[in-house]
Amino acid sequence: MPRLTRYLPHVILTLGACVMLLPFYWMVLTAIRAPAEIFNISLWPIPETFSAGRNFAKVGERVPMGRFMLNGVIVCGGILLVQVLTAVPAAYALAKLKFPGRNLMLALVIAALCVPMQALALPLFVGLAKAHLLNTYFALMAPFFLSVFAIFLFRQSFRSYPDEIIEAARLDGFSEMEICWGLVLRASLPALAAFAIFSVVAHWNDLYWPLIVVRDTALAPPPLGMLYFSDAESGADYGALMAGATLVTAPMVICFLLARRQFIAGITMTGVK
């Protein structure tokens, strides 16, 4: 019985992981199959006829997938950079500085976490339209420059930094910004890595906002580019569609695998006081 109690959680987690990974496995399997085998329900990983080269070649021939991927890198990188530049000082102030209204500001940050993007889409669209900024990289990035989730995450991580070190740095002549960026953030790099993964994955996979503000194919990020590809192919060539989906998904999987330790450490640190 003790052995069963010990291994049962691992068995349950393994089954859950298999269920979660099955759609991705089916996506890759479809991407390497020939058209005649697309609707074969077999999960055997080796198809009778490999068609990976044909399927992936179609993606590059019929849509500018390289351009879509580059757009995704530009948009995700720009958003992440501005989010860090704005969230880190705000989180440091909420975690380590005492000023009137600090608790109210924290309450507003937490309340803002409950506001969905869809509720702000119309006023943001109208504002960008009046400013003639639709169909630009700025329109894709601007609504996400300020991340209340980043402020909350960094604030939770910064709280664990010793106040004694901050006081000593102040006595040595460090400014608050030097303490924030040079000491506190450097000690919270796992939290930064965790947020970077959250941010990049969320905006790399975002279709809702780009579908509203972008009409030019040259500005389309990967999910919107896949939508254009689906329209061009009338949804019939599932092998090529899944090949494109594999190309879009692979960078996120690789990034997570490379940063998984920092991601886990960052999430853990935010719960330590």
Residue 270 pLDDT grade (very low, low, confident, very high; cuts 50, 70, 90): low
What does the pLDDT look like over 87-138, one tens digit per residue?
999 999 999 998 898 999 999 999 998 888 888 899 999 999 999 999 999 9
Q: What is the sign of the dihedral through the CA atoms of 253, 255, 257 and 260?
A: negative
pLDDT at 41: 73
Q: Are 226 and 208 in contact (CB under 8 A)?
A: no
Question: Can you spell out the DSSP letters for 127-169?
Answer: HHHHTT--SSHHHHHGGGSS-HHHHHHHHHHHTTS-HHHHHHH
In whole angstroms, what is the distance from residue 148 CA to residue 190 CA?
A: 18
Instruction: Please give the model's pTM, rounded to 2 decimal places.
Output: 0.86
Kindly tell me the burial class for residue 164, based on how many C-beta atoms sit within 10 Å of its own C-beta (0-12, 13-18, 19 or more): exposed
In whole angstroms, what is the distance from residue 73 CA to residue 163 CA?
A: 37
In whole angstroms, what is the distance from residue 75 CA to residue 63 CA?
A: 19
What does the pLDDT look like over 131-165, one tens digit per residue?
999 999 999 999 999 999 999 999 999 998 999 99
List, in order of start, the domains of the chain with CATH numbers: 1-50 (no CATH), 55-269 (1.10.3720.10)
Q: Which two tokens stand for residue 64?
A: 């500018």
